[in-house]
Amino acid sequence: MNKLAMVEALLFASKRGIDLNQLSQIIESPKAEALSLLEELREKYAQETHGVKLGQVGKLYSFYTKPEYAETVAKLVIRPMEKLTPSQLEVLAVVAKKGPVKKSQIDEIRGKGSDNQVIELLAMGLVRRKRAKGPGRPFAYSVTELFYDLFHLSDEELNRYKLPPEDEETVAGPELAADESENEEEPIDPEPNSVV
């Protein structure tokens, strides 16, 4: 079998993408060869005759719609969210860059409250929350896979954006490391005036 075709088929079949280790195991090839095949596909799909490109988000490789065809694809795809407001985008940017982050830290970075924005982002599925260890067991917020899928951003691309400097230990300190039973996602509270 043609290994390049195998990699291409796996990329199309994987809903959320595939990492290099998994790809290497499935095609029964060393990681270096799998990486070389990915690069060959990246070059092939970079040509203007294709409407998709090979991208990497975190450790996962996947095919994504090229930006110039996003408007066309949007006619087919119904987005699971309303249009984002500037304040929601601001909160989303803080969570994407600093997550996992507590709401009090989001408020501190923005210089104002973020209750409504966080509730809406949770409802849209762009942000998730988990209970953190520590006094009061506050929620720690981070972006979801849906965020990465919709915005086509990798962790490397996120690192290019700058936020106001702050003490890293207070953002993602040891109190955020919870065991599995304490790390389950909480259901979204439907009450708009509830404590977030």
19 forms beta bridges with: 60
- How does pLDDT run across 1-50, given as a tens digit for each residue? 898 999 999 998 887 789 999 999 999 999 999 999 999 999 999 998 99
Question: For the whole model, what pTM was predicted?
Answer: 0.46
Domains, the chain, ordered by start = 3-74 (1.10.10.10), 86-182 (1.10.10.10)
Report d(CA 156, CA 147) in Å as an integer: 15
* pLDDT score recorded for residue 44: 93
For the chain, which ranges sit under pLDDT 70? Answer: 74, 76-82, 153-196
Report d(CA 90, CA 73) in Å as an integer: 26
* pLDDT score recorded for residue 185: 43
Helix then strand count (H, E) for the chain reads 10, 6
* pLDDT score recorded for residue 182: 39
Q: If you ran DSSP here, which 8-state letter would residue 53 be given?
A: E
Q: What are the angstrom distances between the C-alpha of 132 and each of 7, 92, 111, 139?
A: 39, 19, 23, 6
Report d(CA 14, CA 17) in Å as an integer: 5
**E-assigned strands of the chain?**
18-19, 52-57, 60-65, 101-102, 127-131, 139-143
